[in-house]
Amino acid sequence: MPRLIADRVPWGVGLMLVAALVGCTADKSPVLPVTSVVLAVPKHPVCLSTGLEPGTLLVACSEARTVLVLQPAPARVLYTVTLPFPPADVLADAPNRMAYVLHAQNDSLSQLSGSPLKLEKSLGLGTASLAGAALRPGYNEVWLCDGVSAVQVLTAGRLQLKRTLPLGRYPQHLAFSLDGHTAWVTLKGENALAAVDAESGKELARVPVGIYPRDVVMAGTTACVSNFGSHDISLVDTVKYVERARVPVRRQPNALALQGKTLWVACEDSYRLVAIQVTQAQVIGSIKTGFYPGDLEAQPTGSLAVCDPQHDQVVIFTPQVPGS
């Protein structure tokens, strides 16, 4: 999932957001005890994915044009894959022993395969604003937000474009229901979350959320959305197609990761990772990172891997979460 720190709210909409910016107050939740391990990586790590092997991670480094295969514990880089263009997102397709790398600046998608992974092929996609990508569970498909007005659906493995689904202004990221039947897509230009029937491609519903929605992850029948412009998290009931709660967090929430019943939120301009109990729609604590947190990935061990693009490192945090 890509979360580029340089992507900030445009100055031209500043007046619209004054109330949100001024009204954004620090939450009263406790700072959680945490241990951390720092691993130096090549320049500008921007995104993470669970690796093909258990207990591994894929780390995409944009300026270095590489994908690293990383072992979090003990933290070390296993090997590196060189890419033709800077990466913006990386996806692991473990059942098919493949990985996909999105190149936003070069409007293309690369496919990696083999053991160890090697670059197999790349496909140009004809749009210069590619955003997030996801694999459709149970189906041989890669879905891509074009960042302008549509979602592109490709056949995994062959990298063939199957169809293009027009949606709305500036689709950013998407997530699927567990059965792969419904795609949930954030529309930054509409301040909405769209539900799409993945088989027919028809839009089922459009749910209003906060300002400039970015990432989305599924927590059972709840879609969790980070609203970058209004500094909050929307919790959307995917059965009733309504926003059931809005949870204020610290400034500029972006990347999300689910760990059990806890939603972790990377709040870029606050140097924090914020923990939300999804069922209760309540902030339960936070971690001080000491840097702008980029993408993050939750680990089965209870740790969190976080990109630090400013300092060219990945930090593994192991927090003590209440009730976990």
pLDDT at 75: 84
User: Looking at the DSSP assignment, which residues form a beta bridge with residue 236?
Assistant: 223, 243
Closest by CA position to 171, among listed 195, 196, 146? 146
pLDDT at 27: 54
Residue 80 belongs to domain with CATH number = 2.130.10.10
Closest by CA position to 170, among listed 84, 228, 251, 106? 228
Rounded to whole angstroms, the Cα distance separating 290 from 244 reads: 32
pLDDT at 324: 61
54, burial (CB in 10 Å: exposed 0-12, middle 13-18, buried 19+): exposed
**What DSSP assignment string belongs to 16-31?**
HHHHHHHH-----PPB
Residue 232 lies in a domain: yes
pLDDT at 237: 98
Sheet of strand 57-61, all strands in order from the earlier edge strand to the far edge: 45-50, 57-61, 66-72, 75-82
Residue 100 lies in a domain: yes
Rounded to whole angstroms, the Cα distance separating 228 from 7 reads: 10
Return the C-alpha torsion angle 199, 204, 207, 211, nearest 10: 50
Structure tokens, 59: 């780390």
- What is the chain's pLDDT, residue by residue, as a tens digit (324 residues)? 444 333 433 333 332 333 333 334 445 679 999 999 999 999 999 999 999 988 899 999 999 999 999 998 888 999 999 999 999 999 999 888 999 999 987 889 999 999 899 999 999 887 667 788 999 999 999 999 998 999 999 999 888 999 999 999 999 999 999 999 999 999 999 999 999 999 999 999 999 999 999 999 999 999 999 999 999 999 999 999 999 999 999 899 999 999 999 999 999 989 999 999 999 999 999 999 999 999 999 988 889 999 999 999 999 999 988 766
pLDDT at 171: 96
Residue 28 lies in a domain: no
User: How many other C-beta atoms can be found within 10 angstroms of the C-beta atom of residue 33?
Assistant: 11
pTM beyond 0.85, yes or no: yes
Structure tokens, 321: 């979460």
Sign of the Cα torsion 207, 213, 216, 222 reads: negative
Sign of the Cα torsion 7, 12, 16, 19 reads: positive
Residue 204 lies in a domain: yes
Residue 294 lies in a domain: no
Which domain does 228 fall in, by range?
Answer: 45-270
User: Looking at the DSSP assignment, which residues form a beta bridge with residue 241?
Assistant: none
Structure tokens, 162: 């199957």
pLDDT at 128: 61
Residue 300 lies in a domain: no
Greatest alpha-carbon pair distance for the chain in Å reads: 52
pLDDT at 105: 79
Structure tokens, 183: 């795609």
Residue 302 lies in a domain: no
Report the SS3 class of residue 68: strand
Q: How many residues does the chain have?
A: 324
Report the number of distinct structural domains present in the chain.
1
Residue 49 lies in a domain: yes
Rounded to whole angstroms, the Cα distance separating 218 from 258 reads: 8
SS (H, E, C) 111-155: EEECCCCEEEEEEECCCCCCCCEEECCCCCEEEEECCCCEEEEEE
Rounded to whole angstroms, the Cα distance separating 29 from 297 reads: 22
* Strand 232-237 relative to strand 242-248, pairing: antiparallel
